[in-house]
Amino acid sequence: MKGHLYKVTLEHLEDAKGQAIDNSRLAFETRNHDDIFKIVEMIKVKMDLEEADAMAFAVGLKLFGEVMLNNRDVELFKQFKPHMTDFMKQLKKQ
């Protein structure tokens, strides 16, 4: 598969009550057709979001979008595709 290869790591630091969490971590490698770092920078410039929100939004959107593309035959993704297309058009207009 072509595309940029990323390693994504997510560490759970605190629970909803603010209690520290130890040894709760997800890590995986994934590919994406876009340079996610460039997308993050564009989102930071285009949208009035806090930096952490801009990063979370851009990374989440790109990871989700790539999964949709790679699994376009999944019925739920088929149903959501027109909405995602509209959303991406609006985002690119920002």
User: Where residue 85 sits, what CATH number does that domain have?
Assistant: 3.10.20.850
- How far, in Å, CA of 24 to CA of 88, rounded? 33
pLDDT in tens, 25-78: 999 999 999 999 999 999 999 999 999 999 999 999 999 999 999 999 999 999
- How far, in Å, CA of 6 to CA of 46, rounded? 24
pLDDT value of residue 41: 95
pLDDT value of residue 94: 85
Between 14 and 23, name the one with better pLDDT. 14
| Residues of the domain holding 24 | 4-93
pLDDT value of residue 14: 96
**pTM (two decimals):** 0.89
Q: Is 23's pLDDT higher than 90?
A: no
> How many domains does one find in the chain?
1
Asked if residue 58 lies in contact with residue 66, where contact means CB atoms within 8 angstroms, the answer is no
